[in-house]
C-alpha cells in the first residue's frame, strides 16, 4: 500500500470513529451519525453478501439485519478495530448462523455486478469497465457475459473460499482485516485465498 493510500485509509478510520462516537450517544444527532455510516457501507455490505447468498432478497434482508445488529451493539464497539471490519464480522456471523443449514446454490438469481471499479478482480481477472452507450451492442453483450461468468464461478466456490476472495480481492481488505472479520489467523487467510484463486482460475480456464 502506497503512502497516499495509507493516508486515505487513516483518514477514513478517523472519520468512521468520529461518526461512531457521535452515534453512541443519544438523540437525533446520534441517529443522523449512524445513518451516515449506513449510507457509507450499505452498498458494499449488500454487494458482498450477494456473492455469499442465493439471491437478492436474502442478501438485502441480511444486510438490513447487519445494520440493525450493529446499531444494537454499537455501545460495545471499541477503537481497537476498524468500524468496517467490525461490520464485516457481524455480516459474516449472521450469514453463517442463519444459512448454516442451507445448501449453497450455484445458480445465479438477479446477479449484481459492480462495474465501477477498474482494477484487476479475483485471480487477476480484469473487471469489466462501464460500456459507453455508443459501443457495438455485441460488445456490450460479450462484456456482460464475461461478468456473469466470473460472478457465477465465484458463487460456485466453497463458502470459506468465497469469503476470503470477496473480502480480499473484491472489497480490498488487508489480510489482517480479513482475519479479524473471519476470526481466523492471517496465515489461514492467505492459504485459503491462494486455494480460492487457484480454484477460480481453474474454473475460468474452460471459458478461454
**Which of 63, 69, 71, 84 minimizes the C-alpha distance to 30?**
71
Cα distances (Å, whole numbers) of residue 126 to 57, 118, 144, 170, 171:
28, 8, 13, 12, 15
User: Is pLDDT at 88 greater than 80 in this prediction?
Assistant: yes
* DSSP type of residue 120: B
Q: Is 126 helix (H, G, I), strand (E, B) or coil?
A: strand
User: Is pLDDT at 105 greater than 90 in this prediction?
Assistant: no
Question: Which CATH number among 2.40.37.10, 1.10.10.60, 1.10.1740.10, 3.30.70.360 corresponds to the domain 1-102?
Answer: 1.10.1740.10
Mean pLDDT across 165-194: 93
Angle between helices 3-23 and 28-50 (to 10 degrees): 130
Q: What share of the chain has pLDDT > 70, as a percent?
A: 71
Query: Between the CA atoms of 62, 65, 66 and 72, what dihedral angle is there, to the nearest 10 degrees?
Result: -170
Residue 124: per-residue pLDDT: 40
Tens digit of each residue's pLDDT (9 = 90 or more) over 52-80: 887 889 999 999 999 999 999 998 887 77
Q: What is the mean pLDDT of the chain?
A: 78
Mean pLDDT across 128-142: 49
User: Is pLDDT at 139 greater than 90 in this prediction?
Assistant: no
Residue 202: per-residue pLDDT: 92
Residue 170: per-residue pLDDT: 87
Hey, what CATH class is 113-208 in?
A: mainly alpha
User: Is pLDDT at 104 greater than 70 in this prediction?
Assistant: no
In the chain, where are the structural domains located? 1-102, 113-208
Are 112 and 207 a contacting pair, CB within 8 Å?
Answer: no
Q: Is the pTM of this model over 0.75?
A: no
Amino acid at each position: 500500500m502506497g503512502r497516499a493510500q495509507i493516508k486515505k485509509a487513516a483518514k477514513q478510520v478517523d472519520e468512521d470513529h468520529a461518526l461512531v462516537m457521535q452515534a453512541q450517544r443519544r438523540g437525533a444527532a446520534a441517529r443522523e451519525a449512524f445513518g451516515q455510516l449506513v449510507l457509507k457501507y450499505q452498498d458494499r455490505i449488500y454487494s458482498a453478501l450477494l456473492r455469499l447468498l442465493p439471491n437478492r432478497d436474502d442478501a438485502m434482508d441480511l444486510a438490513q439485519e447487519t445494520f440493525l445488529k450493529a446499531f444494537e451493539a454499537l455501545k460495545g464497539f471499541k477503537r481497537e478495530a476498524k468500524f468496517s471490519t467490525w461490520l464485516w464480522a457481524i455480516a459474516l456471523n449472521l450469514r453463517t448462523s442463519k444459512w448454516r443449514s442451507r445448501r449453497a446454490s450455484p445458480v445465479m438469481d438477479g446477479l449484481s455486478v459492480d462495474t465501477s471499479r477498474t482494477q484487476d478482480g479475483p485471480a487477476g481477472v480484469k473487471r469489466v469497465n462501464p460500456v459507453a452507450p455508443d459501443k457495438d451492442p455485441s460488445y456490450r453483450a460479450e462484456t456482460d457475459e464475461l461478468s456473469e461468468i466470473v460472478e457465477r464461478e465465484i458463487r460456485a466456490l466453497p463458502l470459506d473460499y468465497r469469503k476470503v476472495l470477496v473480502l480480499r480481492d473484491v472489497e480490498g481488505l488487508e489480510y489482517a482485516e480479513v482475519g479479524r472479520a473471519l476470526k481466523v489467523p492471517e496465515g489461514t487467510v492467505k492459504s485459503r485465498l491462494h486455494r480460492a484463486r487457484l480454484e477460480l482460475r481453474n474454473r475460468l480456464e474452460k471459458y478461454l
